[in-house]
Structure 1
Amino acid sequence: MREITLRQIEVIRAVMLRGTISGAAEHLGVSAPGISRLIKHTEESLGLRLFERRAGLFVPAVEAGAVFDQIREVYNGVENLQMALDSLHKGHDVRLSFASAPSVAQFIAARAIRSLRGRYPDLFIDLNILKIEETIDYLLLERGEFVIMSSPVRNPGIENEEIAVGRLVAILPEDHPLCAQEVVSLHDLAQEPLIGVDPSDPYGAFVAKPFREAGIEMTQSVRGRFAQTVVSLVRHGLGVAVIDEFSVAEVYMPGIARRPLKEEGSISIYVVRKKGRVLSNFAEYAIKQFRKELAEAAQHWQVPATRRRE
């Protein structure tokens, strides 16, 4: 009978995560020759090739895919067990730390946290609001488990997963003449004082894209750093704006009118995490609730294609 020990599982996972023997040794705090010998012994005892050697890297062998799937499950179980033991040791001092972009944090995060609190009433929740440039340090230094962002984060130590796609919408002061229209065109908005975010900013680039694709010059009269600032400026009658639907996903927004755009414009929302990090059950459930709340918010602004083409 072929058997495998927890130590072998730990070593295989380390090689899988780091891609090299030396990287796995550093990860586990042991010598590289010991890792190499254990991998070789494990492959021989199992009668199975676990890794392919490609240009100095150890890549999981295709035929061992089922083994690696089970190793992930086992390791997740071990980590979850350790988390449960730590939680018992600390009593009620159980916490979940995560972060969000300002646009999602405004309304969607509060709804997700409400569901999270309902399931885990004693859980301490630490929500941070981050700019995209702050995300890398936050995750790699493990200050939090995940970040909800409106742009993917480009770093080899970080992975991005799209969890929602939303539309861009127009926002207007509630007494603006364009409020009489059910759907607003970018051509109409371009004739008004435009409020927005710098197009060189990742968020600002999303907002500027439909103008560029429609061949419309976007001249901003006022700029803000965050979507919430843009909303406030519009509310005070300083102009109109194009913004993502999640930033205005509240039932009551006094002073603001929201209208679908005639032209296509979308924004993706990502959950961003440190590559290889095993998330807690709390984090997994929180992400599930973000998916749910983002999907429900997006349904409010679904406009039939025939109407957009009118």
Structure 2
Amino acid sequence: MLTLKQIEIIRAVMVSGSIAGAARLLGVSQPGVSRAMKHIEGSLGIRLFAREAGRYVPTDEARDVFAQIQEVHQRVQNLQEAVSRLERGEDVELRIGSVPSLAQVMMPRAIAAVRRRYADLRMNVEILKIEEAIDYILVGRGECVAMSYRLDHPSIAFEPLAAGNLVCIASARHPLAGRQSVSAAEIVRHPLIGIEPNDPYGRIMAEIFRARDLPYDVVVKARFGSTVAALVAQNLGIAVLDIFTTADLPRDRLAVIEIEEDTRFETFVASRAGTVLSSFAQFFVDRLRAEMQVLASPLRVAAPERPSSGASIP
């Protein structure tokens, strides 16, 4: 039986018409090609080539063999092209989802890395509420979802992405803008934008406020971090957002201030349990995790709380 390497040698001699030409095509030495041809013909028990006017031409009995070799070579070429298209992501669509907080900055960075690696890959990105993510995965609308919260579901598998923390943002014109850190007691002295106690991040601050018996006033609720940031830039109030959302905020218009309490949280990528992500999806997850971990590491260690004038912290 001929190996693919032997088929390649035979075809090189057939195409070039000489041992020297075959050696150049294959990038090997002439003696190596000559020895290989003698071994092939000896194994098959037939002559494949005859020398005519200094050239190697197929013998009559080997013409059918050469026809098959051409067909095998074409099939190998087709296979290599198919693999090459797959490597580029051609004719493939990667479908992924994300909750809004990770979709604003982190997802675009990871997607840019995916596009650089797979130039022809098509992508379909959906922004989902947490409650929408389960159906998105289970009905096969997409491969995975970047999540800010881990659910308990027997058919959904969760893998960690990165740890993060919350920060306070204020207009550059706001009195808090020059501060490096702020406490929960100081935050509630100002009108708040976007705090939703039922959201994962909002729940963190709501628990801190509740534990300290701190009332707070939400003057405007908004779902997306970009909307919250735009409202804060108008100096309508301050807000609490996650570090992944605030990574690209314009610092000439908005101040990002550390929160002194511990506001750490974990993020995850969710996929259907028992399935394996495609190489494209896995590359996306790896790049997303890398982008998030660079931003989040090292996490700030919560500073000790300090009383401020006019307010006491229990």
Quickly name the TM-score band, shorter chain normalised.
0.5 to 0.7
The partner residue of 1:128 within 107, 126, 150 is 126
From 157, 164, 175, the equivalent of 2:173 is 175
Q: Which residue number corresponds to residue 289 of structure 2?
A: 291
Which stretches of structure 1, 4 residues or more, deviate above 6 A after TM superposition? none
C-alpha spacing 1:101/1:296, structure 2 compared with 1 (3 Å)? same
The one of 279, 282, 293 aligned to 2:280: 282
The answer on whether the counterparts of 2:150 and 2:158 sit within 8 Å (CA) in structure 1 is yes
Separation of aligned partners in 2, 1:143 and 1:211: 38
Task: Report the CA distance shift for 1:251/1:172 in structure 2 as closer, same or farther (over 3 A).
Answer: closer
- The SS at the match of 1:96 is strand
Partner of 1:114: 112
Query: In structure 2, the residue corresponding to 1:242 is in which secondary structure?
Result: strand
Normalising by the residue count of structure 1, what TM-score does the alignment of the two structures yield? 0.66
Whole-angstrom distance in 2 between the partners of 1:210 and 1:260 = 15
Equivalence map 1:156-235=2 (5 Å): 156-235=154-233
Contact kept? 1:167, 1:267, Cα under 8 Å: yes
Do the aligned residues in 2 keep the contact of 1:261 with 1:308 (CA within 8 Å)?
no
Aligned pair 1:303/2:309, yes or no?
no
Q: Distance in 1 between matches of 2:291 and 2:244?
A: 10
Q: How big is each residue's C-alpha offset from its partner over 1:8-35, in whole Å with a ceiling of 9 and x where there is no partner?
A: xxxxxxxxxxxxxxxxxxxxxxxxxxxx
Contact 1:172 1:240 in 2 (8 A): yes
| Partner residue, 2:45 | none
Q: Based on CA coordinates, which of the two structures has the bigger radius of gyration?
A: 2
CA distance in 2, matches of 1:191, 1:108: 31
**Which deviates the most, 250-259 or 109-118?**
250-259
Corresponding residue number in structure 2 for 1:243 = 241
- Asked if the contact 1:244/1:267 (under 8 Å) is kept, the reply is no
Aligned residues: 225
User: What's the Cα RMSD here?
Assistant: 2.5
Q: SS where residue 246 of structure 1 aligns?
A: coil
> Does the 8 A contact of 2:89 with 2:121 survive in 1?
no
Cα distance change, pair 277–91 in 1 and its aligned pair in 2 (3 A): closer
Percentage of pairs with the same residue: 39
Question: 1:271 and 2:263 equivalent?
Answer: no
Partner of 2:137: 139
Once residues 225 and 111 of structure 1 are traced to their aligned partners in structure 2, the CA distance between those partners, rounded to angstroms, is 22
Kept after mapping to 2: 8 A contact 1:197/1:226: no
Mapping of residues 244-263 of structure 1, within 5 Å: 244-250=242-248, 252-263=250-261
The whole-number CA distance in structure 2 between the counterparts of 1:200 and 1:96 is: 31
The Cα of 1:235 is off from its aligned counterpart by: 1.4
Shifted more, 197-206 versus 176-185: the winner is: 197-206
- Note the residue ranges of structure 2 that are not aligned, 5 or more in a row: 1-81, 307-314
Over 3 Å counting, the alpha-carbon distance change for 1:304 and 1:150 in structure 2 is closer
Q: Distance in 1 between matches of 2:136 and 2:163?
A: 24
Q: Please, which runs of 5 or more residues in structure 1 have no aligned partner? A: 1-83
Q: Could you tell me how far apart the structure 2 residues matched to 1:226 and 1:137 are? A: 21
